[in-house]
Amino acid sequence: MPHIEIHQDKAAGRQQELVSLCPFGAIENTDGKLSISAACRMCRLCIRKGDGVFEFVEDSAPGVDKSLWKGIAVVAEIEEGDIHPVTFELIGKAKELAAKVNDPVYCLMIGSGISEKANLLLEYGADEVFVYDQEELKHFRIEPYTAVMEDFINRIKPSSVLVGGTPAGRSLAPRAAARFRTGLTADCTKLDISESTDLDQIRPAYGGNIMAHINTPRHRPQFATVRYKIFSIPQKKANPDGKIHACSLAPEKLRSGIEITKTEWKSLEKGIEEAEVLVVAGRGVKKAEDIAMLQELASLLGGKVASTRAVVEAGWVDARCQIGLSGRTVKPKLLITCGVSGAIQFVAGMNSSEKIIAINTDENAPIFNVAHIGIKGDLYKIVPELIRQIKESRGEA
């Protein structure tokens, strides 16, 4: 573990002066001998101003043999017997990353009665699919699913493992990462890879104020979860040539302390994630009644109304319609923002949209940096005019 080493011989006669260097009070003087307490924040100010008394030492801990770990694995999520679309997005990204280091793309399928779905993963670009199709895996339970994932990783030794940022994925990925004592980065918005197969995992941090680049250079595999609608789904192959492997675990390894006696599916309603057109309400909307104006525009375009966090907190729009880090990630064909400033927390949830049109009175609003079309003006004049012209073009005016 990195630490700061003190050269006591160079500190002779200067102890009190050196103690005052630390703004956190972490440097202590005991009978003329300096030490660093747990209050140290590793700001390294003492190193920069200590004239050689303090030295930063980074332990050379032995790392894993990276040559033994090869390939990028995607965990396919099964939902009501079908493959969740986030799986195809992850396969597309895995193919892109694997091409840079000449690695294969693997897929792991876990469930019961799912074998016939495996070929679909080959069509989207997986080189090999490993299917654990057993009755004990019919329902998601964390213990047996983690056991399967551990068996798969020990069998294949993939360099990186990508998991969908779904409720199940967010439960499974940290369990598996803990088994291998390795790192996991949640809710990545970008992924890249170096020649050494180190995964560059990029995600917003500190409330979205910075983009953190996270690496796991000394451990394998590397785990990352990614939300739905972050990456694009690749084109299907006409004649896939990958391999499908039927795998299994002994029943005793699939035991769980959870017994599922009954399952009941809620009726699913289409959320903003599935909408092809979204009209987004921001702080520029003056009152709750004005949401109806945006709803009319969205209806004419066959879309839905979404919003920023401020509008949800005002109680004008349901929380399920919020876009951003603390809301939903969307990727519609058309997204129209109305009075949205474009804070990074919001932009992180929508910047992959195919066409972004921004309406704002402030020409310096950050939203214009990501918009394909920017309209400087009052939404209360522009939106009614858009509604009028759409109706007129349809003969509805």
Smallest CA-to-CA distance from 354 within 374, 370, 338, 369 is with 370
The pLDDT value given to residue 60: 61
CA distance 153 to 70: 11
The pLDDT value given to residue 338: 97
Measured over the CA atoms of residue 116, residue 121, residue 122 and residue 124, the dihedral's sign is positive
Assign residue 206 a region (left: φ > 0; alpha: ψ between -120 and 50; beta: otherwise). left
Cβ-based neighbours of 212, under 8 Å, separated by 6 or more: 202, 203, 204, 205
Give the pair of three-digit tokens for residue 42.
Answer: 């590793």
Instruction: Evaluate whether 247 touches 151 at the Cβ level (below 8 Å).
Output: yes
The pLDDT value given to residue 264: 81
Q: What is the pLDDT along the chain (397 residues), one digit of tens a residue?
A: 678 999 999 999 899 999 999 999 999 999 899 999 999 988 889 999 999 999 988 766 667 899 999 999 999 999 888 999 999 999 999 999 999 999 999 999 999 999 999 999 999 999 999 999 999 999 999 999 999 999 999 999 999 999 999 999 999 999 999 999 999 999 999 999 999 999 999 988 876 677 889 999 989 999 999 999 999 999 998 888 899 999 999 999 999 998 888 888 777 667 899 899 999 999 999 999 999 999 999 999 999 999 999 999 999 999 999 999 888 999 999 999 999 999 988 998 898 899 999 999 999 999 999 999 999 999 999 999 999 999 999 887 6
Q: Around Cβ 173, how many Cβ atoms within 10 Å?
A: 24
Instruction: Evaluate whether 148 touches 75 at the Cβ level (below 8 Å).
Output: no
Instruction: Evaluate whether 370 touches 324 at the Cβ level (below 8 Å).
Output: no
Kindly state the helix (H) or strand (E) to which residue 212 belongs, with its residue range.
strand 210-214
Q: What are phi and psi of 228, to 5 degrees?
A: -65, 140
Instruction: Evaluate whether 2 touches 55 at the Cβ level (below 8 Å).
Output: no
Q: What are phi and psi of 86, to 5 degrees?
A: -60, -25
The pLDDT value given to residue 206: 74
Half-sphere exposure of 152 (CA within 13 A, CB side): 31
Q: Around Cβ 102, how many Cβ atoms within 10 Å?
A: 7
CATH class of 69-254: alpha beta
Provide the β-strand partners of residue 245. 130
SS3 (DSSP) at 369: helix
Spell out the long-range contacts of 367-371 with Cβ–Cβ below 8 A and sequence spacing 24 or more: 367/337, 367/340, 367/341, 367/342, 368/342, 369/342, 370/342, 371/337
Cβ-based neighbours of 2, under 8 Å, separated by 6 or more: 42, 56, 57, 58, 59
CATH T-level assignment (fold) for domain 272-393: Rossmann fold (3.40.50)
CATH T-level assignment (fold) for domain 3-57: Alpha-Beta Plaits (3.30.70)
User: For the chain, what is the total number of helices (H) and then of strands (E)?
Assistant: 10, 21
Give the pair of three-digit tokens for residue 169.
Answer: 């994925």
CA distance 316 to 309: 11
Q: SS3 helix, strand, coil % of the chain, rounded to 5?
A: 30, 25, 45
Cut 0.75: pTM above it = yes
Smallest CA-to-CA distance from 249 within 164, 371, 155, 343 is with 155
Smallest CA-to-CA distance from 108 within 139, 76, 153, 147 is with 76
40 CA to centre of own chain:
31
For the chain, the structural domain boundaries read 3-57, 69-254, 272-393
CA distance 163 to 173: 7
* Residue-wise burial string across 321-337, b where 16 or more C-beta atoms lie within 10 A, e elsewhere: bbbbbebbbbbbebbbb
Distances (CA, A) of 139 to 103, 111, 309, 328: 32, 7, 34, 26
Q: Do domains 3-57 and 69-254 have the same CATH topology?
A: no
The pLDDT value given to residue 255: 92
The pLDDT value given to residue 268: 65
